[in-house]
């Protein structure tokens, strides 16, 4: 009998686990995801800023699995786990499993701030990125025809909460492209009125990265005109005003939230198996504590068994990919009744793009910045796009767009339900 492996979540962890078990006759695999496509999160900010199309970083699961004989796809959202009966319920049915792998990832953490959750613009999914793109373009159009200077400025002001890689990359791209495009195409707008604010509660940008990377990001963004506010947290967002912890306010219609994440909720998992940040507590083999055949991978897994990472591994793509590859090998070892291999993270470094031809790269033994770092970033972000559009074409498109700073996909597309009236 083939063992049925149900994987919930088609991100880096889920996809790489599928690849590690593909066409193995001992396993039957079902991937469950609420979307019918896999996408590449590190480049989602480029979709939000109209730099690239969503299709450049997305690919349908069924197309991806078309040559995999032992892999099926189930489109649906997880409702609950029934670990006693080895089944999960989705909004589209019930699936039995021999092994369950939870790789749902994270969602935006608003730290209990209801107004921020209701009115800010997160950027964790393709849908959110496209909504943000439309929202900013609509605000530009409204600012272009608004004769009230104060209101026009409020429409142009952009506040980004969160000084990590996503916040830095987003601020740099909006600053560079915004000024260039607005100057040529929005002649009605007075450019001196618009401001980009990047806010973080920590004392530095890119806090997990090296001092070289932190200083390079700060200096470059300052030169681009980004107003950086550190050591201050966003506390509320009321009536178009961002309220900071020090009492100051910023008037804006656009608060972009990149300030934190929390594990997606998994109903049915024992409470004692859930740790800090709603991450699932796992052992050295990624098995969820208190369960027999449930595993967790990637950002949602809190693994504190490795001596170098007593508080858990960083929530990075490389951790998810390595989790998946190690679990794939261990599931095969279980079938072969061999000794399992505990997970050990191989830190390959981190990077962030700041602006055109300018990035920062931290490798395990040294760090560097500038054009060479930008080329490294470009190369590293093309390599994982397996099954996506032609890599060379995408790389040349990127290069052309970075040189011209003027993509032509700034289309305001708002789908509407057909009412039958024409």
> pLDDT digits over 117-139, tens only?
999 999 999 999 999 999 999 99
Residue stretches of the chain with pLDDT short of 50: 419-422
Could you tell me the CA-to-CA distances from 12 to 97, 174, 245, 309, 318 in Å, in that order? Answer: 21, 27, 36, 21, 8
Global pTM reads: 0.91
Q: Give me the domains of the chain, ranges plus CATH numbers.
A: 3-108+261-335 (3.50.50.60), 114-259 (3.50.50.100)
What's residue 422's pLDDT? 43
What's the DSSP call for residue 265?
P
Task: Look up residue 72 and give its two tokens.
Answer: 């099926």
The answer to whether 255 and 242 have CB atoms below 8 angstroms apart is: yes
What's residue 61's pLDDT? 94
The answer to whether 41 and 367 have CB atoms below 8 angstroms apart is: no
What beta strand segments (E) does 268-329 contain?
A: 280-282, 294-296, 301-303
Say how far apart CA 355 and CA 353 lie, in whole Å: 6
Could you tell me the CA-to-CA distances from 36 to 29, 131, 308, 391 in Å, in that order? Answer: 16, 19, 37, 22
Say how far apart CA 324 and CA 297 lie, in whole Å: 7
The answer to whether 373 and 351 have CB atoms below 8 angstroms apart is: yes
3-state helix, strand, coil in the chain (%, to 5): 35, 25, 40
What's residue 416's pLDDT? 62
What's residue 43's pLDDT? 87
Could you tell me the CA-to-CA distances from 16 to 55, 62, 297, 322 in Å, in that order? Answer: 20, 15, 11, 9
By percentage, how much of the chain surpasses pLDDT 70? 93
Say how far apart CA 391 and CA 389 lie, in whole Å: 6
What's residue 380's pLDDT? 78
The answer to whether 289 and 329 have CB atoms below 8 angstroms apart is: no
């Amino acid at each position: 009998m083939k063992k049925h492996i149900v994987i919930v979540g088609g991100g880096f962890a889920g996809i790489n686990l599928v690849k590690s078990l593909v066409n193995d006759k001992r396993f039957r695999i079902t991937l469950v995801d609420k979307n019918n496509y896999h996408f590449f999160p590190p480049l989602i900010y480029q979709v939000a800023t109209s730099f690239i199309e969503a299709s450049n970083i997305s690919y349908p699961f069924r197309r991806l699995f078309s040559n995999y004989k032992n892999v099926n796809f189930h489109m649906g959202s997880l409702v609950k786990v029934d670990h006693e009966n080895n089944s999960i319920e989705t909004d589209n049915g019930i699936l039995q499993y021999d092994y369950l792998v939870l790789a749902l990832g994270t969602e935006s953490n608003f730290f209990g701030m209801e107004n921020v959750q209701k009115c800010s613009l997160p950027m964790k999914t393709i849908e959110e990125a496209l909504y943000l793109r439309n929202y900013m373009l609509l605000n530009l159009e409204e600012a272009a025809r608004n004769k009230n200077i104060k209101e026009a400025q409020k429409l142009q002001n952009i506040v980004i909460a969160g000084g990590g890689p996503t916040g830095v990359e987003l601020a740099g791209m909006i600053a560079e492209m915004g000024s260039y495009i607005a100057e040529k195409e929005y002649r009605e707008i007075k450019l001196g009125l618009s401001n980009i604010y990047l806010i973080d509660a920590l004392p530095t940008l890119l806090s997990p990265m090296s001092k070289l990377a932190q200083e390079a990001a700060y200096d470059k963004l300052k030169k681009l005109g980004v107003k950086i506010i550190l050591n201050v947290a966003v506390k509320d967002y009321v009536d178009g005003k961002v309220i900071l912890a020090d009492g100051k306010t910023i008037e804006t219609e656009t608060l972009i939230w990149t300030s934190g994440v929390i594990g997606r909720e998994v109903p049915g998992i024992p409470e004692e198996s859930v740790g800090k940040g709603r991450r699932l507590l796992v052992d050295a083999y990624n098995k969820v504590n208190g369960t027999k055949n449930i595993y967790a991978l990637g950002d949602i897994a809190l693994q504190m068994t490795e001596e170098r990472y007593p508080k858990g591994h960083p929530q990075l793509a490389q951790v998810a990919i390595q989790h998946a590859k190690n679990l794939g090998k261990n599931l095969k070892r279980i079938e072969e009744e061999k000794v399992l291999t505990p997970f050990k993270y191989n830190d390959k470094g981190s990077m962030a793009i700041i602006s055109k031809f300018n990035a920062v790269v931290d490798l395990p033994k040294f760090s560097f910045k500038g054009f060479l770092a930008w080329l490294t970033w470009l190369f590293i972000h093309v390599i994982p796009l397996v099954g996506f559009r032609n890599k060379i074409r995408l790389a040349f498109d990127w290069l052309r767009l970075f040189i011209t700073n003027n993509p032509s996909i700034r289309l305001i597309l708002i789908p509407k339900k057909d009412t039958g009236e024409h």
